[in-house]
């Protein structure tokens, strides 16, 4: 056989073999959300819809939980790789849950409010004394926000009754059934209730709360050991998502409304309220860490404030040395 012809045939065979090779499989990450529609948590759905995680080689399986405690149970059981929740859940790392905070995704808390039934006679903070206030779960961010209201108002611990009713649409039902006088939850929910004259915002919790790591991402010990690069890819895609959301309001509002079921009018209002809270670098804020350390004791999650440096890492943040 002519050498030139032989080389050509070999080239064709190699090219065919390369074409036949399967594409690189995406890494699957199971992501657990502490709430379905919380503003600080929902970017994972937005980024997934936009294909931004896929571009980083990740295939996300997203699970919604009714409160942070349910997400923590899943993390403890080894059922999820990434937790999408709030900084208050860092206390469970101190208690031995096999996870680590890897990103302070949202710093302030403009997207949470205290809401009341539409026809409630409660008009101001002082009117909440002696009332039943709904929270999503014990030890959750909303639980601490109720505690912080008591502290900042100078009330006694039992001057309000905290009632666990879960997350999601449970507040509307609890209002209708007169199970609670007020609820601490997403501002979007109360804006949506106002459209139906079922509930309304009394005041945002930012009226009395400072920086609190309102959004925090966690990685399981297992995924940190087995695939640290997947965590880095996840955080890079998360920050890609935040950058997109900041510069594409109309598209973001449409996507979020589709995901949450809230109207575009309500979602647009919430976007204007909350978009500024997101971190552009995932770094942990000193004020947030100090407030969280205090919250763990307030919630009886820990006896004394922990060494916060042992509860988070910035090793997976894009640009960090590794």
Cβ atoms 86, 142 nearer than 8 A: no
In the structure, what pLDDT confidence band is assigned to residue 1 with cuts at 50, 70 and 90? very low
Q: How far apart are CA 135 and CA 129, in angstroms?
A: 16
Angle 202-208-211 from CA coordinates, rounded to 5°: 120
Q: What is the pLDDT of residue 111?
A: 87
pLDDT in tens, 29-67: 999 999 888 899 999 999 999 999 999 999 999 999 988
Q: Is the pLDDT assigned to residue 7 strictly greater than 70?
A: no
Q: How far apart are CA 134 and CA 123, in angstroms?
A: 17
C-alpha 97, offset from chain centre? 18
In the structure, what pLDDT confidence band is assigned to residue 160 with cuts at 50, 70 and 90? very high
Lookup: tokens for 142: 């909303």
Distances in Å between the alpha carbon of 216 and those of 44, 64, 82? Answer: 12, 15, 11
Mean pLDDT over all residues of the chain?
Answer: 89
Distances in Å between the alpha carbon of 44 and those of 86, 105, 259, 301? Answer: 14, 11, 11, 28
Q: What is the pLDDT of residue 25?
A: 65
For 288-295, what is the mean pLDDT?
A: 94
Instruction: Return the domain boundaries, the chain.
Output: 27-108+212-310, 112-207
The CATH code that applies to domain 112-207 is 3.40.190.10
Q: Is the pLDDT assigned to residue 18 strictly greater than 90?
A: no
Q: Which residue has the tokens 């879960």?
A: 166
DSSP 113: E
Cβ atoms 46, 32 nearer than 8 A: no
Classified by CATH at the fold level, domain 27-108+212-310 comes out as D-Maltodextrin-Binding Protein; domain 2 (3.40.190)
Cα pseudo-dihedral 287, 290, 291, 292, rounded to 10: 120
Q: Which residue has the tokens 């073999």?
A: 17
Domains 27-108+212-310 and 112-207 share a fold: yes
Q: Is the pLDDT assigned to residue 201 strictly greater than 50?
A: yes
Tallying the residues shown for the chain, one arrives at 322
Distances in Å between the alpha carbon of 137 and those of 41, 72, 242, 260, 280? Answer: 17, 12, 28, 21, 29
Q: Is the pLDDT assigned to residue 168 strictly greater than 90?
A: no
Least confident of 231-235, 238-242, 266-270, 306-310: 266-270
Cβ atoms 213, 106 nearer than 8 A: yes
């Amino acid at each position: 056989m002519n050498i030139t012809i032989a080389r050509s045939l070999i080239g064709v065979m190699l090219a065919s073999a390369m074409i036949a090779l399967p594409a690189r499989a995406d890494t699957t990450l199971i992501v657990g959300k502490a709430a379905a529609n919380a503003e600080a948590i929902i970017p994972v759905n937005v980024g997934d819809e936009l294909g931004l995680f896929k571009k980083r080689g990740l295939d996300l399986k997203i699970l919604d939980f009714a409160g942070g405690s349910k997400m923590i149970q899943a993390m403890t059981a080894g059922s999820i790789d990434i937790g999408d929740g709030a900084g208050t859940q860092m206390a469970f790392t101190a208690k031995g849950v096999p996870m680590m905070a890897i990103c302070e995704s949202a710093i302030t808390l403009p997207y949470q409010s205290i809401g009341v039934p539409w026809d409630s006679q409660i008009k101001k903070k002082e009117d909440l004394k002696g009332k039943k206030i709904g929270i999503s779960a014990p030890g959750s961010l909303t639980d601490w926000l109720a505690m912080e209201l008591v502290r900042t108002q100078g009330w006694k611990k039992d001057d309000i009754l905290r009632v666990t009713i879960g997350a999601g649409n449970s507040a509307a039902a609890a209002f209708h059934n007169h199970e609670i006088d007020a609820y601490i939850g997403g501002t979007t929910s109360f804006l949506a209730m106002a459209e139906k004259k079922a509930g309304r915002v009394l005041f945002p919790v930012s009226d009395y709360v400072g920086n609190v790591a309102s959004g925090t991402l966690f990685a399981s010990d297992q995924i940190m050991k087995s695939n640290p690069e997947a965590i880095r890819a996840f955080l890079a895609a998360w920050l890609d998502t935040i950058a997109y959301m900041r510069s594409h309001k109309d598209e973001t509002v449409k996507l979020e409304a589709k995901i949450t079921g809230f109207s575009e009018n309500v979602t647009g209002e919430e976007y204007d309220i909350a978009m500024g809270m997101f971190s552009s670098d995932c770094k942990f804020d000193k004020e947030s860490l100090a407030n969280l350390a205090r919250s763990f004791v307030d919630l009886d999650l820990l006896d004394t404030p922990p060494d916060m440096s042992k509860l988070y890492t910035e090793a997976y943040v894009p640009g960090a040395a590794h």
